[in-house]
Structure 1
C-alpha cells in the first residue's frame, strides 16, 4: 500500500496527465504495477480531485496507447528490438522464444488473455507485433475488449474505497488473485478449443 499512497499523492497534485503518463510507462514495461496505478486514479476521483467517469476514459486511452506502442515497436523492429538494452532486459531471448511458442499455439487469444496476466502483457504485445500475423486493428480490438473489463474494474474499485483503505487493500488483493484465475481459465479454454480444432482437422484428414 506504500506505493499506492505515493501514487495517490502524485496524482492528486498533477491530475489526469500524471495518471496518463504513468500508464504509458506501465505499457512500456517499467516496473510500475498497472492495477495499482488504475486504483490510485480511482482513489483521487473518490477524494474529489477528478471525475471518476472521465478518469475511466483517460485510463482507457493511456492503457491502449501504451499497449499499442509496444505492438508497433515489435511490428517495426521484430526480433531486432532485443538488441536494445532495455528490451533485452525486459524480454531476454529465452523468454521471447517462450512467448513466441505460446503465441504460435494460442494465436490471437493470447493477446486478450495477456491483459489479465501482470508481467506478461508487454512481452506478448511485442511478440504479437513481431510475428506480423496480426493486423494492428485486430490487436487493438482484442486488447480493447480485455481493457473494457480490467480498467473500469480497478478504477471504480479505487473510487469506492477512497475513504476506506483497509477495505480497499483487501479487495485489491482479491482482485489481483481473481485476475490470475480469470487469466488461467481463459488459457485453459483456449487450449481446449485449440485441441478440439486440431482433433477435428485430424479426423477430416483421416
Structure 2
C-alpha cells in the first residue's frame, strides 16, 4: 500500500456509515456534472458503490472510533443516484426548452461547440429524436450541451425523460450494484495495479528526463565551417 492509504481509507470508511451526508454529496455531484463539471459522473457512481461495499463489511472496514455502524442501503443508494441524475438532466433540458430562442444562448452554443458541431447536433436530433438523449447519457463531456440542445430543438419532455431514463436505468443501478457486491475484488486489484502503475510512471519519467538531457547535450548544432 502507498503511505497515504493509511490516511485515505479511514477518511472514506467513516462516510460509509453516514447515509444522509453521502446521499447529499452524491446529489450535489450529479447536479454539477449535469451542468458541465469536468468530473465524469461515473466517478461518483463508482465511489458510491465502493462506499456501500465498505459499509456492508464493517469487519473488514471498521469505522473510526465513535462512529456508529449505520451502512448505506444498496437499493436506496441506487434510487438516490438515479433520481439525482434524472432531475439534474431534466433541469438542463428545461433551461434549453425555455430559453432556446434566446440570442445569448445561441451565442454560447456557437462558442462552446462551434458552428459545425452545432449543425451536426441539430441533424442528429432531427434524425434520431428518441435515441439522441440516450446517446448523450453515454457520452461524457457533451451531456450538458447535448441535453440543453434537446430542449432547444423541440424534443418533447416525455421523449427526453423516456430515453434519458432508460439509459440511466441501465447504467446507474448496474454500476452501483457491481461495485457494492464486488468491491473487495476491485479494491484488491487496485492495490496490486497501483504498484505497477508507480513503476511505469517512474520509468516513463526517467526516459523523459534522459531524452531531454540527450537533446540538450548532443542536440546542439556544430558551428559551420567558414
- The count of aligned residue pairs is 163
The match for 1:50 is: 72
Separation in structure 1 between the aligned mates of residue 145 and residue 121 of structure 2, nearest angstrom: 7
Question: Which aligned pairs between 1:51-70 and structure 2 lie closer than 5 A?
Answer: 51-70=73-92
Match of 2:158 among 112, 123, 137: 137
The match for 2:121 is: 99
The match for 2:169 is: 148
Contact preservation (8 Å) 1:20, 1:62: yes
Separation in structure 2 between the aligned mates of residue 118 and residue 139 of structure 1, nearest angstrom: 18
Q: CA deviation at 1:130?
A: 0.3
Contact preservation (8 Å) 1:74, 1:126: yes
Separation in structure 2 between the aligned mates of residue 10 and residue 95 of structure 1, nearest angstrom: 45
Any idea what the Cα deviations from partners look like across 1:127-168, whole Å, max 9, x if unmatched?
A: 110012x22122111111111101012111221243332447
Contact preservation (8 Å) 1:10, 1:18: no
Structure 2 residues not aligned, in runs of 5+: 1-7, 56-70, 193-226
Separation in structure 1 between the aligned mates of residue 15 and residue 38 of structure 2, nearest angstrom: 18
Contact preservation (8 Å) 2:110, 2:118: no
Question: Does 2:104 correspond to 1:78?
Answer: no
RMSD over aligned Cα atoms? 2.9
Separation in structure 1 between the aligned mates of residue 95 and residue 115 of structure 2, nearest angstrom: 16
The match for 2:219 is: none
TM-score for both structures, normalised by structure 1: 0.68
Q: CA deviation at 1:105?
A: 2.5
Aligned partner of residue 15 in structure 1, secondary structure? helix
Contact preservation (8 Å) 1:41, 1:155: yes
The match for 1:114 is: 136
Q: CA deviation at 1:110?
A: 1.2
Contact preservation (8 Å) 1:96, 1:123: no
